[in-house]
Amino acid sequence: MSTYARPEVLVGTQWVADHLNDSNVRFLEVGVNTSEYESGHIPGAVAGWGLSDFQHLADKAQVEAMLSNAGIANSDTVVIYGGLSNLIAVMAFWMLKVYGHADIRLLDGGRQKWLAEGRSLSVEKPRVQRKQYVAQEPNWDLRADKDHIISVIGQMQQMIVDARPVDMYTGENTAGMQRGGRIPTAVNVPAAPITDADGQFQGWQTPTTRTDGTFKSVEELRALFSEKGITPDKNIVTYCVRGGLSTHMWFALTQLLGYPNVREYDRSWAEWGNLADTPIEKWS
């Protein structure tokens, strides 16, 4: 079985357990909000950011303040994890890549797998010694904005990948936005909502992960994307509703498969679907 393109960026629960007391390793829990963290977190982990911090990509000064306040130095290994299949955690991973942090890792399976294995939790907030973090200038090659997407729609070497569920892709479900549908020419690699017996939303089953939240093998991931014509020779943009599902896909494409040219449209349908003049396709 093949190994991931960058296997060092994905760590398991045992790796985390073995490095809890390392002075240069910082654990950062990132979720929709801090409620899960407050109910119990990996010992020593710092409460990171919530979804509201990623609705618009933070600027350089904000990132420096966020990391400095979390006690993170430029030389630290930062291990990020969270609930909801790591969706918000991967947004934080992507943001730190944009601003050039050298050593970022993701806990494979996230909070879900840590809890499933019955590993220790703490409700104590660690004492954080503020550091002076200095971010690099942002790498905009990792990000797509509205104007970039409009300029590449229909180009032969361009792939636009929609990570939303099928009913959002077709336009049947507007996801609360003013308009439904998809970006023209986008192909769908859909996530599926997970609901309880009463039909209440519990989370997402992403196509890149197993039911325990861990990522699928290289062979499975290659088959998933190549079947849709999403190949490493293409220039790719990923998007979803608010960036969680699509940064998860960006992570699989860039970090696990090594695709060289993938941009994340972090504002996603929350922007595109609320504008009156953006082109939209809509059909079932």
The residues annotated with a catalytic role in the active site are 240
Reported in sequence order, the residue ranges of 23-170 that DSSP labels E, i.e. its strands, are: 25-29, 46-47, 77-81, 104-107, 158-162
DSSP strand E in the chain: where? Answer: 10-11, 25-29, 46-47, 77-81, 104-107, 158-162, 187-188, 192-195, 201-205, 235-239, 262-264
Q: Nearest Cα to 70, choosing from 136, 132, 16, 138?
A: 132
Whose tokens are 């990948």? That residue is 161
In terms of Cα–Cα distance, which of 44, 46, 24 is closest to 34?
46
Q: How many CB atoms lie within 10 A of CB 236?
A: 24
**Type and span of the H or E element at 169:** helix 166-170
Residue 243, C-beta contacts closer than 8 angstroms, at least 6 positions apart: 54, 91, 264, 265, 266, 267, 268
Residue 53 gets which letter from DSSP? G
Got the DSSP string for 146-162?
Answer: HHHHHHHTT-TTEEEEE
Q: How far apart are CA 161 and CA 240, in angstroms?
A: 9
